[in-house]
Amino acid sequence: MIEIAVASGKGGVGKSTIATSLAIILAKSGWKVILADADAEAPNAHLILGIDSWDEVRDYSEGYVAEIDYTKCNTCGACAKSCAFKAVKLVNGRYVINKFTCEGCLTCSLVCPKQAIQRIKASAGKLRIVRETRWGFPLVSALLSLGRPNSGKLVTEIKEIARSLARSDTIIILDSAAGIGCQVIASLAGASAAILVAEPTPASFSDLRRIHSVAKHFGIPSALVINKYDLNPEYVKVIVEYAVTENIDILGTVPYDDHVPKSLSYMKPLIEVFPEASASKAITDLAKRFEEKILRNWAEWRRKFTPTKAAPYVPIIIKPNER
């Protein structure tokens, strides 16, 4: 089983387009593939594939939310003071739990001198499965309870589902969220490699460096795709230079192509509706290279591109009584 996380730091650079295309092309050339949409806050992979119904939708209720019993509450405010998430506030003389930002950690219940606060189970979101898409591979996806915490836990959960469906020769493709926080860490944790997607802009480059340092914390090899490279060919050099210095394998470039958004509005994969479009050709080449260079050559590729210098996550800790 090989698990590939497609990530970028920055949003809207083409992660989902690359991840879905890769899944389709690999499946067509005979690989056993599972696609996992690892963005529970803005899950979009199913839309690209034109999927509008699920074989299975499960509730994932691993979450809590605090609830105040106002017959016991003496409005002392201890709950608001203790909440690390600032989810308790005073509204018209009464302490109110913000049901969106409450993490359900129990702290307010523990500090309440009147034992007026309980926590109740709250749904963290939904897990959704299509067992067999048109291309034969399963799609697993999650949808976070709106505005709530725990998207990282949902991503971990869909990865578990993907792994339970996988055989030893399965390629799991994870379409990660934007950012570098809980969802993305959940996606990268335990992954075999990362495909990093960037566009040639300073903003995307900044986010690329951030996501890459997280990939390095996990000690996994990375490959790079530069999307919309023709928007700013000069800046491509800057990114390539970084990739070379950092021992990131450069998988290829994809041009800006308005067939990409057009295919989105058809809700059909780009490579199928516009196979002759320049982006389709570039992505197809990219997938072939991915197959030849990485999958068929896995052990060697991994050895070559795994970061040599360990760069593990080191927390900055301030001991009690230290400044």
Partner 1 sequence: MYWGVQVGVAAVTGGKGGTGKSTIAINMAVAIANSRDVVLADLDVEAPNDHILLGIDLKDKEAVKIMIPFIDYSKCVKCGACAEVCDSGAILMPKGKYPYILPRLCSGCRACYFTCRAKAISEGYRVVGYTYRTEVNLGSTSITLVTGMLREGEEHVIHTVLAAKERAIREYRDVLIIDTAAGSGNNVTAAIEDSDIILAVTEPTPLGLHDLTLILELASRLGIEALIVINKVGIGPKDKIVDVAKKYRAKVIAEVPYSKDVVSSYINGVPLVRAAPNHPIALTFRKLGNYLSEVL
Binding to partner 1 (CB under 8 A): which residues in 86-145? Answer: 86, 89-91, 98, 100-101, 103-107, 110-111, 144
**207-245 burial by CB neighbour count: b if 16+ within 10 A, else e?**
bbeebbebbbbbebbbbbbbbbbeebeebbeebbebbee
Q: Does 64 bind partner 1 (CB under 8 A)?
A: yes
- List the structure tokens of 105: 């950690």
CA–CA separation, 272 and 165 (whole Å): 26
Which of residues 186, 220, 251, 271 is near partner 1 by CB under 8 A? 186
Minimum distance of partner 1 from residue 149's CB (angstroms): 4
First to last CA, the chain: 47
Site for partner 1 in 214-273 (CB under 8 A): 214, 217, 231-232, 235, 258, 261-262, 264-265, 267
Q: Does 192 bind partner 1 (CB under 8 A)?
A: no
Which of residues 213, 278, 284, 306 is near partner 1 by CB under 8 A? 213
Minimum distance of partner 1 from residue 5's CB (angstroms): 15
Residue closer to partner 1 (CB basis): 70 or 100: 100
Asked whether 158 and 38 are in contact (CB, 8 A), the reply is yes
Which residue bears the tokens 């970061």? 307
CA–CA separation, 167 and 144 (whole Å): 28
CA–CA separation, 83 and 282 (whole Å): 50
Binding mask 147-166 for partner 1 (x = CB under 8 A): xxxxxx--------------
Residue closer to partner 1 (CB basis): 95 or 301: 95
Which of residues 4, 6, 7, 10 is near partner 1 by CB under 8 A? 10
